[in-house]
Amino acid sequence: MSSDDNVKRSADAAVSGGPLAGGHHGDVLALPELESFRDPETKGAKAHYDDADIYRDEKGFNDHTLRPMFFTTKKYFAFTLVLGAIMAQGFVAFLNQTYWGLGMAGLHEPVYWGAYIATFVFWVGLSHSGTIVSSILRLTGANWRRPILRAAEAMTAFSLLVAALFPLIHVGRLWRAYYMVPLPSQRMLWPNFKSPLMWDFCAINVYLTGSMTFLYIGLLPDLAVARDRAIAMGNWRRHYLKVLALGWRGSHREWSVYNKCSLFLAVIILLIAPSVHTIVSWDFAMTMTPGWHTTIFGPYFVVGAIYSGVSAVVTLMIVLRVLFNLGDVIRKFHIDALGKLLLVISIIWSYFYFCEFITTWYSHKPEEWEIFEWQAHRFPYHLWVMLGGSCLTIFCLSWRRFRACMPCMFALTLLVNCGMYIERYMIVVPILSRRDNPFMWTDYYPSLTELSIIVASFAYFIFLYAIFIKLFPIVTMADVKEGVVVSGDVRLGKHAVRVQVKE
């Protein structure tokens, strides 16, 4: 039995595509109707939601979900070209800063941590929801998780990759970055593990490794599907897909071991993720700086990170729905479920805001209250976006109609992340600019170099994501299929009830 026998199959993947996926809405593959795989007894009866609703037949489902990967439009190339241009200007700004030194950034005494560090914290925060949400939903067996896991996990990996750049950009002397690696040098100088910055370096690298592994292991069965499709189409992707799929065949033994491994990874990631943002918060909290030196910072950062990350997942899901015509895979139901999750997190987040404010206001310690006053006077609009965004989120997400409105959800989640970026900025900059003795007090404005690099980081994130979509399946196909396998309709009186089998 040769592989050639296996691979010579026709590839007919003509299903509808979004503006970046290729194809037009007109050339839809005639897929069998939903009812065709359902029990005829319950046909027409209203069943509960399940991923089975998108699963007309397996081949059609594979074609549809793999389409963003295999078919590319000119718009996609134009889009990535624009991203490339933005990244290029950021790279030029970075080279300029490296050549002339950190003076090109707006940093000066006492504000030695500025927009770079705020952006670093933002990206680390953004990385949080992906794997945390994925782990929690896997462990709790939430059925609605299935199609969205991949996109969320990829977001974690890419935002961490972007975040990891900022400490390197911030230190200026990039060529000395290896000092962080535990290599015994001539001076017998090892990394200083007593510094929270070194803990941060360890934690971020562990999280990056864990997230990448989690993403890859989750991809494994879908890589095999994509491999078979690429071979059948004679597509160039077959070369790397063959290698990365590791020879996966979908044997029962493979599935059984794979599920167990996914479970281990979900538990471990759930232990890593909160520790990472806690350690990031300790970069600040372990100093004696008023406004930073507080016990609340660990959980405060973790909740803020999840809040920011879940919002970004919603934004991303809506973008994927529209651009790649995945509306029947990433459905309004999923956005609604994520919206409810976001509502709960925004309430917890607002509670943290309240706790932070009330303790400072009531104790009225001069050095801490001065910072609050400075924030209110110097950054009033920032504060409005930051606090208003949080209150608005609770109000808006309480309404089912709002959660069902995709443009509204898109706008709100973007606003949340704007607020969260500002929140990171407000933690770093105002506190440093009102630090210690009044004669040191000063103001800080990000320079054009900093702004160029920060804008480029956003383009870099989107670019990584856009490339990922073209190289790997963006929908967690294996999980969706498993959801279909273990669910079915059962008649209960006049109704059909969707049930799910659990071992």
Partner 1 sequence: MSDHYTVLGLYRKVETITKAGDPIREAFRVKDGDIEVLTSAAYPDGAILDDKELLHQVESRQFLFPFLMGFGGFGAGVTLAGGTGYIMNLIVGGKAPFTYAPTGVVTYEFTLLFGVIGSVLSLLYYAGLPNWTERAYDPEVSDGALGLLVKLYSTEDQEKAAKMMEEHGAYKIKKGVNDF
Positions touching partner 1 (CB under 8 A) are: 1-3, 5-7, 9, 57-59, 62, 182, 184, 188-190, 192-195, 198-199, 202-203, 206, 209-210, 213, 217, 221, 224-225, 228-229, 231-232, 242-243, 246-261, 264-265, 268-269, 271-272, 275, 279, 478, 481-482, 484-486, 501, 503
Among all chains, which residue has been given the structure tokens 């067996």? 141
Contacts of 73 (CB under 8 A, 6+ apart): 17, 19, 20, 21, 22
**CB of 226 or CB of 323, closer to partner 1:** 226
Q: Which three-class secondary structure state does DSSP give residue 186?
A: coil
**CB of 177 or CB of 246, closer to partner 1:** 246
CA dihedral 65, 405, 145, 241 (to 10 degrees): 30
Least distance (Å) from partner 1 to the CB of residue 475? 14
What is d(CA 226, CA 248) in angstroms, rounded to the nearest whole number? 11
Least distance (Å) from partner 1 to the CB of residue 194? 5
Say which amino acid occupies 9.
R
Reported for 166-173, long-range contacts at CB under 8 A and 24+ positions apart, including other chains, are: 166/116, 166/117, 166/119, 166/120, 166/123, 166/457, 167/120, 167/200, 167/201, 169/94, 169/97, 169/116, 169/453, 170/113, 170/116, 170/117, 170/120, 172/97, 172/98, 172/101, 172/102
**CB of 28 or CB of 220, closer to partner 1:** 220
Report residue 460 as tokens. Answer: 């870099």
Q: Do the beta carbons of residue 107 and residue 476 sit within 8 Å?
A: no
Least distance (Å) from partner 1 to the CB of residue 90? 30
**CB of 170 or CB of 481, closer to partner 1:** 481
Listed residue (138, 145, 68) closest to 330, CA to CA = 145
Least distance (Å) from partner 1 to the CB of residue 260? 5
DSSP state at residue 29: -
Least distance (Å) from partner 1 to the CB of residue 501? 6
**CB of 6 or CB of 442, closer to partner 1:** 6
Least distance (Å) from partner 1 to the CB of residue 278? 9
Q: Do the beta carbons of residue 323 and residue 406 sit within 8 Å?
A: no
**CB of 168 or CB of 486, closer to partner 1:** 486
Q: Do the beta carbons of residue 50 and residue 104 sit within 8 Å?
A: no
Q: Do the beta carbons of residue 184 and residue 159 sit within 8 Å?
A: no
Residue 64 CA from chain centroid, whole number: 23
**CB of 98 or CB of 289, closer to partner 1:** 289
**CB of 36 or CB of 209, closer to partner 1:** 209
Least distance (Å) from partner 1 to the CB of residue 356? 24
What is d(CA 131, CA 18) in angstroms, rounded to the nearest whole number? 27
Least distance (Å) from partner 1 to the CB of residue 477? 8
**CB of 74 or CB of 252, closer to partner 1:** 252
Instruction: State residue 235 phi and psi, 5-degree precision.
Output: -80, 150
Among all chains, which residue has been given the structure tokens 């933690």? 427
Least distance (Å) from partner 1 to the CB of residue 15? 14
Q: Do the beta carbons of residue 246 and residue 170 sit within 8 Å?
A: no
